[in-house]
Amino acid sequence: MTTTTATPAAPTASATDAVVRVEHVSRTYGSGTGAVHALRDVSFTVEPGELVALVGRSGSGKTTLLNVVGGLDRPDEGRVVVDGREVSTLDERGLVDLRRDVVSFVFQTFGLVPVLSAAENVGVPLRLRKLPTKDREDRVRLLLDLVGLGPHALQRPGELSGGQQQRVAIARSLANSPRLLVADEPTGQLDTETGTAVMALIRAVVEAEGMTAIVSTHDPLMVSLADRVLHIADGQLIEG
Ligand code: ADP
Ligand code: MG
């Protein structure tokens, strides 16, 4: 805190320095009788360094909520603030910056580029940043080592197991040292043992990199590794 600067962002950031602040968010798909209320008046915060599990049955609104938090989708009502930026009002350029600099996604389906090697996939966000080649290669090597895939750097996704592919995706998601990791059922396509290993990896990297994470899951083991659990049903957060 300093008395010499007063930025316009100060008033919104003053309540706490939560990494994520979701306030009275609603999101409805369609309209009239066909309207689906995917999110209904959802509010919560996530503090720095927390690993939060988002739990709810299929169709409860998990993906919609994560997309709204990460700026892939917009709420119809309410406010989303991530790392002091009001996501819900950002323009296209602001959203691109947010996804490059602040938030990183991991998806159930990995989302790797099939024709690129593991190392090249991890390097994609660094290329977008125009990092010098040598720095990029060093960082890619470090990230692949971090997820235990150093020896597989030159293999393409199709030559890796599901668990290995998800570890590549996690390494890629860490490339730009995001403040917030958003993972949507990252272990959904993996067997229990592999899924547990991937979740333990997420737990470890969140701690090692000082990150904050929201992870949606059905997996009880994954839930047990979280600092806190948010339960969602029919688009509403419920106690429990
Ligand atoms: P979850 O990830 O928990 O399975 P979703 O957020 O995907 O839940 O979906 C919440 C509700 O919103 C569901 O009823 C789903 O059918 C609906 N929904 C999700 N995406 C769309 C869309 N693009 N258009 C219409 N309805 C959607
Ligand atoms: Mg989903």
pLDDT in tens, 131-161: 899 999 999 999 999 889 999 999 999 999 9
More confidently predicted of 24 and 1? 24
Q: Whose CA is nearest to atom 5 of ligand 1?
A: 61
Which spans in the chain are helix H? Answer: 10-13, 62-69, 92-101, 118-128, 133-146, 162-174, 192-208, 220-225
Edge-first strand listing for the sheet containing 77-82: 36-46, 20-29, 77-82, 85-86
**Percentage of the chain modeled with pLDDT above 90:** 69
Give the C-alpha separation, 139 to 175, whole Å.
7
Provide the token pair at 129: 């940043």
Highest mean pLDDT among 95-99, 117-121, 170-174, 184-188: 117-121
CB atoms within 5 A of ion ligand 2 belong to 62-63
Q: Whose CA is nearest to atom 22 of ligand 1?
A: 29
Q: Tell me what the pLDDT averaged over the chain comes to.
A: 90
Give the C-alpha separation, 36 to 110, whole Å.
27
Q: Atom of ligand 1 at shortest distance to CA of 235?
A: 10
pLDDT tens, position by position, 66-108:
999 999 999 999 999 999 999 989 999 999 899 888 999 999 8
Please state the pTM of the whole predicted model. 0.89
Q: Which of 48, 45, 43, 96 is nearest to 70 (CA)?
A: 96
CA distances from 44 to 24, 25, 91, 214 (A): 9, 10, 23, 12
What number is the average pLDDT over the span 204-212? Answer: 88
pLDDT score, position 192: 84
What distance in angstroms lies between residue 150's CA and the mean position of ligand 1's atoms?
Answer: 37
What number is the average pLDDT over the span 207-229? Answer: 89
Residue from 63, 74, 182 to probe ligand 1 pocket by mutation (most atoms less than 8 Å from CB): 63
230 lines ligand 1 (CB under 6 A): no
